[in-house]
Every structure is written in C-alpha cells, then in structure tokens.
Amino acid sequence: MPMNKVEIPGVNTAKLPVLTNTKMRELFRAMQAGDQSARDELINGNLRLVLSVIQRFQNRGEHSDDLFQVGCIGLMKAIDNFDLGQNVKFSTYAVPMIIGEIRRYLRDNNPIRVSRSLRDIAYKALQVRDHLVHRFSKEPTISEIAEELAVPREEVLYALDAIQEPMSLFEPIYHDSGDPIFVMDQISDEKNQDKTWLEGIAIREAMRRLSDREKMILTMRFFDGKTQMEVADEIGISQAQVSRLEKAALHHMRKHM
C-alpha cells in the first residue's frame, strides 16, 4: 500500500465524489432551507477531506476506519455550523474542526491518563504565555508564567510536559539525502562495551567543534536530563530557540562523527 494512501474497510476511496465550489454553495443553501438530502450530499462530497486529514495521524497506532469515523463527526459539525456569509472556503473552515475532533479522540483514548487538574494548569499556562508574549513582545520564562498563575514553577513544568503527545517510534528524527532515520533506529538492547567506549570518544570529539552555547544546551538536555522548557528558563531564551539550537548542534555533531 502506498504510504500516502488511506484505505477504509467498506469504502471505495477512489470513487468518492468531489464537489465544485458552486455546487457546494447550492447544497448549503438547500440544507439551510431544510433539505436533509442536501446535507447528506455535502457529507459524501467532502469525505476526501477527512481522508486527507487522517493521513497526518497514520502512525498513532489507531485503526484508519476509527479515525475516519471520528473525522466524519468533525466534518458533520463543520457542515452544520458553516456560515455562507463568511468569505472563506469550506475546506479552510472544516479542516481545523476535523483535526480537533481527532485530537480529542486520541487524547481521550490515550492510555497515559493526565488528570483534569494538570490539564487545567497546562492550558491556563499556555493562555498566560500568549498573554505575556502579547504584553511584552518576548517569550516568557516558566518562572514568569508560574508567577502570573500563582502556581509553583515545578507544577507548571510538570503540567506542560504531561500534555505533550507521545512520540511515535516511526517519527523521523533526521533526514539526509538518503533514507530518514527514525526514533526506533536509535533504540537498542545491546550492551557492547567496546562500541559504547568508541562512541563516547566520537561524541567528545564532535562536541569540541560546537559553540559554548550549543555544548551547554546539549549537556543540559542529554546529560542533565532537563526538558527544553527547563533549559530555556535557565539560560533566558525561548523554548523554540532551544529547539532550533539543539537541532543545529546535533546536525553539526553528526557531520563529524
């Protein structure tokens, strides 16, 4: 099966209809006038939109038909709430609603349960972060967010880490001109001491070629076990900057190892 193709049991995806914008508007007017068959036709005519969205969630360990059904719920919500008076394409309006429905499904069915209180702290922290960025035009530190929330810094860190989605073993972590390297390629149960010793030498040699800031970030991340947000808070830059510097440093190291 091609990597970008989604197969749904009982659905011939190759024969799904495609509606023109003109036809879509006609059907929306008819539906809003009470024509149920127009709504059904709008749903069937936009199933390809659901298929295009669920391709993004192919490596989450969920069955495609389950994601398809959940995506269809998001599609129906989008159809029922779409306003023809707004100057926006239906697909632009519908895709975020379909994605949101699928993400809620994945979150609610995640075997790693996050308590409601932790989720509340995390979402409030994200809102405060956006408010502080707007107010001061710079990325706030975790301590500043915690102070604004009147919550201990460690609790904010724990809450934000808890809502992060687990990484798939098939997540690509590095692309060269050849095949991608996946997370699972970096996992091993072998305890080859000679190999470990040689790799240690290679890592030290490669790290000597990094800038002081890159060395500090990699040391804090991979030797001290700190999160990117903790590193950002400690050295006074944004988490996004830490992520960029970390990726650049790892890329430089790979070229010298």
**The CATH number of the domain where 152 resides is what?**
1.10.10.10
Q: Give the mean pLDDT of 227-234.
A: 84
The per-residue pLDDT for 148 is 92
Q: Are residues 34 and 95 in the same domain?
A: yes
Backbone torsion region of residue 52, taken as left when φ is above 0, otherwise alpha when ψ lies between -120 and 50, otherwise beta: alpha
Structure tokens at 22: 């003109």
Q: Are residues 41 and 120 in the same domain?
A: no
Q: What is the pLDDT of residues 7-51, one digit of tens each?
A: 554 555 567 788 888 898 999 999 999 999 999 999 999 998 898
Do residues 163 and 149 lie in contact, with contact meaning Cβ atoms separated by under 8 Å? no
Assigned domain for 19 exists: yes
What number of other Cβ atoms are within 10 A of residue 128's Cβ?
A: 19
Q: Are residues 120 and 188 in the same domain?
A: no
Assigned domain for 189 exists: yes
The per-residue pLDDT for 217 is 87
Q: Which residue has the higher pLDDT, 252 or 25?
A: 25
Q: Are residues 101 and 33 in the same domain?
A: yes
Distance separating alpha carbons of residues 89 and 245, to the nearest angstrom: 38
- Residue 152 sits in which domain range? 116-162
Q: Are residues 103 and 132 in the same domain?
A: no
The per-residue pLDDT for 198 is 46
Q: Are residues 64 and 147 in the same domain?
A: no
The per-residue pLDDT for 106 is 80
Assigned domain for 3 exists: no
The number of folded domains in the chain is 3
Rg (CA), the chain: 24
The per-residue pLDDT for 193 is 47
Do residues 75 and 81 lie in contact, with contact meaning Cβ atoms separated by under 8 Å? no
For residue 131, which of 119, 144, 118 has the smallest C-alpha distance?
Answer: 144
Distance separating alpha carbons of residues 84 and 28, to the nearest angstrom: 8
DSSP state, residue 209 = T
Question: Which uninterrupted H or E stretch holds 241?
Answer: helix 239-256
Q: Are residues 178 and 155 in the same domain?
A: no
Query: pTM of the entire structure?
Result: 0.43
Distance separating alpha carbons of residues 128 and 144, to the nearest angstrom: 9
Mean pLDDT of the chain: 76
Q: What is the pLDDT of residues 51-82, one digit of tens each?
A: 888 887 776 667 778 888 999 999 999 999 88
In the predicted structure, residue 5 carries a pLDDT above the cut 50: no
- Dihedral of the alpha carbons of 175, 181, 186, 192, in degrees to the nearest 10: -100
The per-residue pLDDT for 202 is 61
End-to-end Cα spacing for the chain: 36
Q: Are residues 150 and 206 in the same domain?
A: no
CA angle, 213 then 200 then 225, to 5°:
50
> Residue ranges of the alpha helices (H) in 82-166?
90-108, 116-136, 142-149, 153-162
Q: What is the pLDDT of residues 158-217, one digit of tens each?
A: 787 766 655 555 455 455 455 555 554 545 444 444 444 445 556 666 677 788 888 888
Confidence category of residue 105, pLDDT binned at 50, 70, 90 = confident
The per-residue pLDDT for 165 is 56
Do residues 56 and 71 lie in contact, with contact meaning Cβ atoms separated by under 8 Å? no
